[in-house]
Every structure is written in C-alpha cells, then in structure tokens.
Amino acid sequence: MLYYIILTQVCGLKCLYCMNEPNSSIMPIHLEVDIKRLKRFISRDPEPIICFYGGDPSMRPDLIRRIMDSIYAKHYVIQTNGIMLHRLGEDYIRRFDTILLSIDGRREVNDYYRGLGVYDKVIDRARYIRSIGYRGDLVARMAVSSRSDIYKEVTHLLQLDGLFSHVHWQLDVLWDYPPMQRYRDFNGWVERYNNGVSRLIHLWIREMEDGHVLGIAPFKGSMWSMLTGERRRYLRCGSGIDAYAIATDGRILACPIAPEFRFNVVGYIDRDDIESIRDRALIGEPCLSCSYYDLCGGRCLFTNKTMFWGLEGFRRVCETVFHLIDELRRVESRVRELVSEGIISLEDIKYPPYTNSVEIIP
C-alpha cells in the first residue's frame, strides 16, 4: 500500500496552473500528527510504501528525516520541485527509491509556468542528486498546459544525458472553473497534443528497435497492460484502492490533492484501518461504461467526482486518452515482435515496478 504523507501546504513556488493556497481552514498548514500515531497506523502494513507530499515536502527536511528514521517502508518516494531537497542530506536522498522532480520541459516553457530561473535550479538539483551516487528512479514530473509541445518537452527531458530515468505528465485540465481559462483554443490545442503523442510513440518504437526502451511512463505502463492482458478496472494511481493520503490533521484521503472535498475523506488514522475504508471513494460514470476503462482505469478520481468542466469538457479530455491508447494499440504487434525476437524484454516495458505515485494515464 502507498501512503502519501502530507507534510506541509507550503511551497516555495507559485506556478500558474497550481491552485495550492495554504489554508488552515481546510487542514493545518504543517503536519500536526504525532509520528507515533503515524507509525501505529502504517506499521499494520507489512510492506508499506511512503511518499512524502505537499505543498513541497522538502520544505520540512526535519520531518522527513524523523519519519524515515522511525517508520519502516519497503520503498520511500518523494514528490518535490527539488529546489530545497539538498537540505535533507545525502544519506537520506540516497534512501529514496523514487524521486519525482517537478519540471515541465524546455527552459522557456518551464519558466513561463513556474517562474524565471526555476528550470536551471531544478536541473542543477537533478545533477546534484545523481552526483551523490543516487541510482534510483529519478522521474521528471511534468504538468502540460497551453504553451507545452508534448513532443518537444518530453524529448528535451529524455536527452539530458540520461539524467531522468522516466518522464511522466499530467494535463492541466478539469481542475479550474471557469473551464479552459488557460487555453485560447482548447480544441486546437488537443489536436496538436494528440499529434505530438503520435510522434512520441513513433520515436519510442524506433528507439525500441535498437534495443532501447525510452522511459516514457504513460507508454510503458499502458503497453505492459496490453502485452500481459492486465485489466485495469480501477484507477492506475491507486487512489482509494492501494494508495491513500494522510492529511496534516490525521484524516485519511483517497486522493492527496483534495482534502477539502467530503467525497475524498474516507477515514481517520486513529480509528480506521485500510481494510475498513476500502471502496469508500470509487470512480463512477461515465468511466465505468467506457470501452477504454480496462486500460485507462478511470484517469482521475478528483475530476470524475467534481466535473468542473461539465460532461462535455470531461469527454473532450477523455479523447486525449483514447488517442494515446489507440496509437499504442497500433504498435502493440510490433512491440510483441521485438520481445519475441529478444531485442527487448517484457520486463523492459513494465512500469511502475511498485506503486510509486506515477499516475500513468495523463
């Protein structure tokens, strides 16, 4: 089971698309749960995975160290912009199995969204992480919005001397109201995005034919399901199934991003265990009746429950998922050939190897 621990609402950046505004009326700004209480709850799981989450959890290196010293986890994960991560200390950084650094692609695109000079700081931190001997999964965690060219952003990050093991992205969609406020022509953008995804898949196959499987997380995770016949009848991120968040006040959330929504609060660490809260927040229609559900898994619990863009807007975003899956299905037979010929192995495709907070479906 994956446990997100929300350490703080505070983040050092003010990204254009981010709605994070520290608000003590939603939950305490910083974690107020005693570590002994956390340990009591998490230690019931013999193989827990802990993901530090915020805000930016690296703003609280003291808490990260105390939790890692006190609570056993089979895997430690962190989602961070990385700018303050060096304060944690080299030994602790090397203990992470997955580090997800928030970066949106090329310098000019990233800095438009995240602030002038942020690209250089994040790349500097990524190089620092590698320089201290980190050999884990370093993931470029992208947000993709109106100025993003998905082909250019992903290939840029993959070409940085092997700095990042994987790239994954989430679309800046369905979070805001009024809808599409950061897009002048959303339908036109979707067409360009879909074309970029097709180009990326062609590149992915060309590289695969040379025995190299690029770490494009949405392609790997989806193709693994196609090749193995895996049916994903639940959210790939695991929200409410095999992933839960612990809010700063001890509430248990199905998804870490929405502590203010009643549907998302499924329990309390002092009175509930994981088995008792399963199935309290599940994906609903229109996802359950969708012919792509077995591969998509529902995409996003928050957007399914809130429908901020209405059903029409929701379905327009779903078209990007349909396109990605259809394009992967077109090359599925070629991937099977490459596996059978021994040019790549099936294990090269598998991702993630454990629930590591990567959502897979953009």
Sheet of strand 137-144, all strands in order from the earlier edge strand to the far edge: 166-171, 137-144, 98-102, 75-80, 49-53, 2-6, 243-246, 251-253, 265-268
Beta strands 265-268; 243-246: pairing state? unpaired
Task: Tell me which residue of 231, 230, 253, 236 sits closest to 300, measured CA to CA.
Answer: 236
pLDDT of residue 76: 98
What are the C-alpha distances in Å from 60 to residues 79, 88, 115, 296? 13, 9, 22, 35
Mean pLDDT, consecutive 10-residue stretches, the chain (362 aa), reads 97 89 93 96 96 97 98 98 96 98 98 97 97 97 97 98 96 94 96 98 98 98 96 89 96 94 95 86 95 95 96 97 98 98 97 96 96
User: CA-to-CA distance for 247 and 268, rounded, in angstroms?
Assistant: 9
**Beta-sheet pairing, 251-253 with 265-268:** antiparallel
Report the alpha-carbon distance of residue 266 to residue 190 in Å, rounded: 34
Max alpha carbon distance in the chain (Å)? 58
Q: What is the pTM of this model?
A: 0.96
pLDDT of residue 280: 86
Strands 243-246 and 2-6 come out as: parallel
Q: What is the pLDDT of residue 247?
A: 98
In three-state secondary structure terms, 130 is helix
What is the bridge-based pairing of β-strands 49-53 and 2-6?
parallel
Q: Could you tell me if residue 102 is left (phi over 0), alpha (psi between -120 and 50 degrees) or otherwise beta?
A: beta
CA 344 to chain centre: 26
In the prediction, which pLDDT does 157 show? 98
Sign of CA dihedral 257, 262, 268, 272: negative
Q: Which domains does the chain have, with CATH numbers?
A: 2-349 (3.20.20.70)
